[in-house]
Amino acid sequence: MIIPIAPRASDNLRINSCASVCTRHSFTSGSNTLAYARTDRAINVIAQLPMVAHTVLLDFTVSSSVIADMEKRSGLKSAIANVLAEHFTGLKPLTESNIDGSLLVLYTGPRGSLITVRGYTEGLITLNIEYYKQDDQEALLTFELAKELETALQTAATATRSHTLTPIKRGGPFERYYPTADERLLEYDIDKLVFEARSPYQKVQIVHSKSLGNLLVLDELQNMSEADLIYTETLMQRGKENYAGKEIVILGGGDGGLLWELLKEKPKFITMLEIDDIVMKACSQHMRSICGDCLDKRKGDNYEIIVGDCVKALAHMIEEGRQFDYVFGDLTDIPISTTPHGDAWDFIRLILNSSMKVLKSTGKYMTHGNGASCPESLKMYEEVLSQLCVPVTFTKDRAFVPSFFEDWIFYQVSLK
């Protein structure tokens, strides 16, 4: 069990029982209050206070000769120190060192801030300002003030270029940063941790975003938000495929979004194979705008959810000779790697080959790939498709997925 913020012995703790398996807690620390619901399997957080470390990052470029020449380097350090002293009351030098011909100076500033100045032999200068900010405190250095500091430093250092990043926020009860497919950093407008638990398979979180609504995060990777209907509709090729009266298998799909949308198309029967029951229970409670009530029970008039390993379930279907009109692979993304080898690629091949064996001759395998920013991995996946146990053809589509902040590629695979 994971508790986002634990009370200290000195905190004023108030406990109220709300159910036999759920106890609601709140505690105060000074003027701050945190409330959360504790169950036997997870923490459902009602509100948190974002007390985090802020890191402001600036960089400049000067002539490499300024770093290489001892006298010029000394003048540069003095110029930077003078500007910093004008912007930070009580600035004090902490230590200074040379590293492989480059310069390093550390300062302490107001509110326990640490300021690092690093000058590289190539002429790059980085300046990092880190401090701790509580929710009710004003920022030590807003982005506007950081830009003013950048301008002053660029002038003092006679820099040819400069740049300032918005403050990076670290720590606190929830994360704000997640990567794109090609590992670029995205900051989300997350303001609350709604649910958190660790299942036998992965870390499961649901956070709230001001613009996206609730967002499912698995093992620190964004998976599905309440704003991502386009993901599901592109995966199922809504308007292009006819699911009425069809037999369908979903591999994965624990958020329930695909199952819910497919049920609207009047299929004959859907079998969903999902290994993580905690994901489904969390989504049924906190992601109802995308999954409706289809995760409330494991069997309906025209669908069944089987909790277990989809690989074993597929093998059993192959043994029984069962065949389907559609198989959806709503599992792992295409791996980002230099070659199509390793456990993740082996798993993808296994899923693909097994799925082909349960498809009708007119059937289709529908899946998502990865970001359009990863063409090398997408090409490797297409090469894998050309080497399956049976010959196939494929088409692909793309859509901008709001919670991914990028275009995503989707595949439709048919038997030749």
Q: How many CA atoms lie within 13 A of 235 on its CB side?
A: 25
What is the token pair recorded at 356? 């082909």
Decide if 309 is catalytic.
Answer: no
What are the CA-CA distances from residue 290 to residues 34, 228, 259, 260 (Å)? 28, 8, 10, 7
Pairing outcome for strands 324-330 and 359-371: parallel
DSSP state letter for 185: E
Angle (nearest 5°) at CA 409 between 404 and 410: 115
Angle (nearest 5°) at CA 187 between 181 and 62: 95
What is the token pair recorded at 191? 């303001």
**Rounded to 10 degrees, what is the CA torsion of 174, 180, 183, 184?**
-90
**For residue 331, which of 351, 316, 308, 305 has the smallest C-alpha distance?**
351
Give CA 179 to chain center in angstroms: 6
Q: Among the options 330, 333, 343, 397, which is catalytic?
A: 330
The Cα–Cα gap between 14 and 11 comes to 10
Active-site positions? 330
